[in-house]
């Protein structure tokens, strides 16, 4: 049955948290009637369907009843039994009389163990029907006057079947009480060791996409010549786990010296393993992997061990399926949190414009390039001056591609400190560095299945360039603090306003990375090369900001448009947009009023005549400030570009009367 076709699990009972709900599938699919009891309040916290069937009540009805409603006249025995179990950790109570909804008495044996639920000790009670109640039991007085509570004493000699039943009980409790891989497998192997000795235990899970096994957990001594680490890939063919996967039945090797048949048997024998048993882990008809137990002693395992381990394997398979679902939910929750954080950042960022405006030949060449490369997965390098619309072209490439249904994630390589850019791109593990309190997904993982825009790629640090090259070539990377690779399917679009070929010659940019990024370069023309588009842009921005401010400015006068077309626009479309927004704010009538921005003939770059040095200086500083969005003192600010100290630049701005409008 597919996951989406399965019935919804029952709701979490009152008093239990979502943690219990995440493991309730295992509780529900146990082979015995199960009750989760609170011994202090003498309350029923939860039951499975077999318990409901045994007692004849619905789950909701049982959860609303006190414990003495289904065990009348038995509470003294049950209280004494609970105290014994809380002290010893487990126990068994035979011949306990239960009363069904139809008032019939059912005689059953109760095996119980202590489990921790939200920090309080509770009892996991396995109820197995044992027959009709005896007359003595029926005539027992409410106060238990027939004697002390009858708790079965431990037998003088260990009973193998009872011991194995107790181990199954411990494994069920371990499954319910442990959600992490390490703690779960440790609890399971410690319980198994009591009845099935081993020197090496392993739990490989099958990865159908790669057709390999991933080592989920390990226990026992180190074997010479073997890899001893989780997440290690094990080939399917020629291994015992692969045989078990193909045949869906256990594999027993009593003596490898005489029974070597698989290629992996030679390696196990060389590592000191002389006998082993492997059972499949099957949940809901799907083989998830296998449980491997190996011993250095020949003839250690029998057919009886195989049967017992098959029962164990069924419980482990449910636990693994539940745990994988739990980890997937946690991964998706983390991804959603990161995407939400990223989208909140995007919401706070105002995009320069909503669509590409223009009818010039230069813009039409850009349109043609976008239409050509958008349907492919080719890496695109967008080259253009500040304010020419590189991000807008990247969005057009994404929205016209087959990846439009997934995210377009942006990273500004120049805006992040060198020490954080790697974590931002690739993510980090918990504890990878000081302040890494939780595991965090990087932008590459957020963009999985979609598109990643690496803006200002020319500012990427030399240390990260080979790591980016690896992702582009192999589609995998390592999170900071993790030795294991993570594979992603991401289309990369890079953008820059720098001359990368010059950066290669200066040794600041890797040539191989440049060639990998510039599979399909798109050059965006500056506004001074498409003057015929300025009227369209002016009309567009005027209408946009007039609508936003509740004004009506139907037209732009010819002298105003000529003035706008005469300017060289070093800040390109972004600068033009800022000028128009300011003009709309200042405009009081039906025409666009440029206000104080209106340049004099001598101030226009296209005007003739000789200008003073002060005028040239004022114009140059203002152009640089517009280019940097009036940032003065940061790493990408105007002072850095002008080769001046920020205080010196601020003094010159004051002297020249330069201030942001």
The pLDDT value recorded for residue 469 is 92
Q: Give the C-alpha distances (Å, rounded to integers) separating 161 from 155, 361, 566.
A: 12, 86, 96
The pLDDT value recorded for residue 178 is 60
The pLDDT value recorded for residue 143 is 44
The pLDDT value recorded for residue 279 is 94
Q: What is the average pLDDT value for the chain, to the nearest integer?
A: 80
Higher pLDDT, 186 or 74: 74
**DSSP-based three-state secondary structure for 456:** coil
Burial of 16 (0-12, 13-18, 19+ CB in 10 A): middle
CATH 3.40.50.1000 corresponds to the domain 3-154: no
Q: Give the C-alpha distances (Å, rounded to integers) separating 428 from 41, 326, 532.
A: 45, 21, 49
Say how many CA atoms lie within 13 Å of 466 toward its Cβ: 1
List alpha helices for 146-262, DSSP H: 160-177, 181-192, 240-247, 256-259
> In the predicted model, is pLDDT for residue 93 greater than 60?
yes
Distance between CA atoms of residues 656 and 647, nearest Å: 14
Distance between CA atoms of residues 200 and 457, nearest Å: 50
CB neighbours (10 Å) of residue 56? 16
Distance between CA atoms of residues 465 and 444, nearest Å: 15
The pLDDT value recorded for residue 658 is 83
* Average confidence (pLDDT) over 343-352: 46
> In the predicted model, is pLDDT for residue 521 greater than 90?
yes
Higher pLDDT, 143 or 180: 180
Q: Give the C-alpha distances (Å, rounded to integers) separating 465 from 24, 412, 422, 510.
A: 47, 15, 10, 7
Higher pLDDT, 92 or 607: 92
Higher pLDDT, 159 or 93: 93
Please say whether the beta carbons of 291 and 171 come within 8 A. no
557-578 pLDDT, tens digit each = 888 888 888 888 888 998 899 8
Q: Which option is the CATH number for 532-656: 3.30.499.10, 1.10.8.60, 1.20.120.1200, 3.30.565.10?
A: 1.10.8.60
List alpha helices for 522-594, DSSP H: 534-549, 558-566, 572-586
Say how many CA atoms lie within 13 Å of 34 toward its Cβ: 22
Higher pLDDT, 284 or 598: 284
**DSSP-based three-state secondary structure for 409:** strand
**DSSP-based three-state secondary structure for 475:** coil
Distance between CA atoms of residues 516 and 259, nearest Å: 53
What are the counts of helices (DSSP H) followed by strands (DSSP E) for the chain? 24, 18
Distance between CA atoms of residues 370 and 398, nearest Å: 10
Distance between CA atoms of residues 391 and 397, nearest Å: 10
Distance between CA atoms of residues 446 and 453, nearest Å: 12
Higher pLDDT, 656 or 246: 246
The pLDDT value recorded for residue 227 is 59
Distance between CA atoms of residues 564 and 568, nearest Å: 9
Phi then psi for residue 411, to 5 deg, are: -130, 125
Q: Give the C-alpha distances (Å, rounded to integers) separating 551 from 555, 556, 561, 588.
A: 12, 14, 19, 9
The pLDDT value recorded for residue 442 is 84
Burial of 156 (0-12, 13-18, 19+ CB in 10 A): exposed
Give residue 379's pLDDT band: very low, low, confident or very high (50, 70, 90).
very high
The pLDDT value recorded for residue 135 is 35
**DSSP-based three-state secondary structure for 611:** coil
Distance of alpha carbon 579 from its chain centroid, rounded?
43
Q: Which option is the CATH number for 173-325: 3.30.450.40, 3.30.465.10, 3.40.50.300, 3.30.420.10?
A: 3.30.450.40
Conformation bin of residue 624: beta by default, left when phi > 0, alpha when psi is -120 to 50: alpha
The pLDDT value recorded for residue 350 is 43
4-18 pLDDT, tens digit each = 444 444 555 555 555
C-alpha closest to that of 94 among 154, 143, 38, 31: 154
CATH 3.40.50.300 corresponds to the domain 360-523: yes
Q: Give the C-alpha distances (Å, rounded to integers) separating 94 from 81, 89, 100, 151.
A: 10, 17, 18, 7
Distance between CA atoms of residues 530 and 418, nearest Å: 37
> In the predicted model, is pLDDT for residue 449 greater than 60?
yes
* Average confidence (pLDDT) over 605-631: 70
> In the predicted model, is pLDDT for residue 590 greater than 60?
yes
126-140, 580-594, 625-639, range with the lowest pLDDT = 126-140
Higher pLDDT, 435 or 41: 41
Higher pLDDT, 474 or 599: 474
Q: Give the C-alpha distances (Å, rounded to integers) separating 350 from 61, 153, 161, 409, 569.
A: 57, 76, 71, 15, 21
| Secondary structure string (H, E, C) spanning 121-172 | EEEEEEEEEEECCCHHHHCCCCCCCCCCCCCCCCCCCCCHHHHHHHHHHHHH
> In the predicted model, is pLDDT for residue 374 greater than 90?
yes
Distance between CA atoms of residues 121 and 259, nearest Å: 48
Please say whether the beta carbons of 23 and 124 come within 8 A. no
Burial of 90 (0-12, 13-18, 19+ CB in 10 A): middle
Higher pLDDT, 30 or 386: 386
Beta strands in 416-510 (DSSP E): 451-455, 476-478, 485-487, 491-496
pTM over 0.75: no
Phi then psi for residue 119, to 5 deg, are: 85, 5
The pLDDT value recorded for residue 353 is 34
* Range among 226-240, 445-459, 628-642 with highest mean pLDDT value: 445-459
Give residue 228's pLDDT band: very low, low, confident or very high (50, 70, 90).
low
The pLDDT value recorded for residue 560 is 86
The pLDDT value recorded for residue 477 is 86
* Average confidence (pLDDT) over 582-599: 81
472-496 pLDDT, tens digit each = 998 888 888 877 888 889 999 999 9
Phi then psi for residue 503, to 5 deg, are: -65, -35
Same fold, 3-154 and 173-325: yes
Please say whether the beta carbons of 321 and 24 come within 8 A. no
Domain residue extents for the chain: 3-154, 173-325, 360-523, 532-656
Q: Give the C-alpha distances (Å, rounded to integers) separating 545 from 63, 84, 550, 561.
A: 63, 78, 8, 17
Higher pLDDT, 191 or 551: 551
Burial of 78 (0-12, 13-18, 19+ CB in 10 A): buried
Please say whether the beta carbons of 584 and 576 come within 8 A. no
C-alpha gyration radius of the chain: 36
């Amino acid at each position: 049955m597919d996951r989406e076709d399965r019935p919804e699990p029952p709701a979490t009972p009152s008093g239990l948290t979502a943690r219990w709900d995440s493991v309730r599938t295992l509780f529900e699919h146990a082979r015995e009637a199960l009750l989760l009891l609170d011994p202090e309040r003498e309350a029923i916290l939860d039951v499975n369907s077999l318990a409901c069937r045994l007692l004849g009540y619905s789950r909701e009805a049982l959860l609303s009843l006190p414990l003495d409603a289904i065990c009348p006249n038995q509470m003294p025995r049950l209280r004494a039994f609970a105290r014994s179990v809380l002290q010893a950790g487990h126990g068994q109570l035979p011949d306990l009389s239960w009363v069904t909804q139809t008032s019939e008495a059912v005689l059953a044996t109760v095996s119980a163990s202590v489990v921790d639920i939200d920090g309080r000790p509770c009892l996991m009670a396995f109820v197995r029907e044992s027959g009709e109640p005896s007359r003595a039991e029926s005539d027992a007085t409410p106060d238990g006057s027939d004697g002390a509570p009858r708790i079965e004493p431990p037998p003088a000699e260990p009973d193998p079947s009872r011991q194995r039943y107790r181990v199954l009980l411990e494994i069920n409790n371990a499954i319910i009480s442990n959600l992490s891989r390490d703690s779960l497998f440790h609890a399971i192997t410690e319980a198994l060791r009591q009845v099935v000795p081993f020197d090496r235990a392993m739990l490989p899970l099958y990865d159908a996409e790669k057709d390999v096994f991933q080592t989920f957990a390990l226990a026992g001594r180190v074997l010479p010549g073997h890899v001893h680490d989780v997440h290690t890939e094990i080939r399917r063919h020629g291994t015992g786990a692969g045989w078990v996967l193909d045949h869906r039945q256990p594999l027993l090797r009593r003596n490898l010296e005489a029974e070597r048949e698989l290629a992996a048997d030679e390696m196990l024998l060389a590592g000191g393993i002389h006998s082993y048993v492997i059972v499949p882990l099957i949940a809901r008809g799907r083989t998830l992997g296998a449980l491997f137990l190996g011993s250095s002693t020949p003839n250690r395992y029998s057919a009886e061990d195989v049967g017992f381990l098959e029962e164990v394997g069924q419980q482990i398979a449910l636990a693994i399926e539940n745990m994988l679902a739990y980890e997937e939910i946690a991964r998706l929750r983390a991804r959603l949190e990161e995407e939400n954080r990223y989208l909140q950042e995007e919401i706070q960022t105002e995009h320069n414009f909503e669509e590409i405006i223009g009818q010039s030949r230069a813009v039409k060449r850009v349109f043609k390039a976008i239409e050509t490369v958008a349907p492919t997965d080719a890496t695109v390098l967008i080259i253009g001056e500040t304010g020419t619309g590189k991000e807008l072209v990247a969005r057009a490439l994404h929205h016209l591609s087959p990846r439009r249904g997934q995210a377009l994630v942006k990273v500004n390589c120049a805006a992040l400190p060198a020490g954080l850019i790697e974590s931002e791109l690739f993510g980090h593990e918990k504890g990878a560095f000081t302040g890494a309190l939780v595991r965090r997904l990087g932008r590459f993982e957020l963009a999985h299945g979609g598109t990643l825009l690496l803006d200002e790629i020319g500012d990427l640090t030399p240390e990260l360039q080979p790591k980016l090259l690896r992702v582009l070539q192999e589609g995998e990377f390592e999170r900071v603090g993790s030795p294991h690779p993570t594979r992603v399917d991401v289309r990369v679009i890079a953008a820059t306003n720098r001359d990368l070929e010059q950066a290669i010659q200066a040794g600041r940019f890797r040539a191989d990375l440049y060639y990998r990024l510039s599979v399909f370069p798109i050059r965006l023309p500056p506004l001074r090369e498409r003057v015929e588009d300025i009227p369209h842009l002016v009309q567009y921005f005027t209408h946009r900001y007039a609508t936003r401010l509740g004004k009506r400015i139907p037209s732009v006068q010819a002298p105003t448009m000529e003035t706008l077309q005469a300017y060289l626009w070093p800040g390109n479309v972004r600068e033009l947009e800022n000028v128009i927004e300011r003009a709309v704010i200042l405009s009081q009538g039906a025409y666009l009023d440029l206000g104080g921005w209106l340049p004099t003939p001598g101030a226009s770059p296209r005007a003739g005549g000789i200008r003073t040095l002060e005028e040239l200086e004022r114009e140059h500083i203002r152009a640089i400030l517009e280019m940097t969005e009036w940032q003065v003192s940061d790493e990408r600010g105007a002072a850095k570009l002008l080769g001046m100290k920020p205080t010196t630049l601020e003094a010159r701005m004051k002297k020249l009367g330069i201030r942001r409008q």
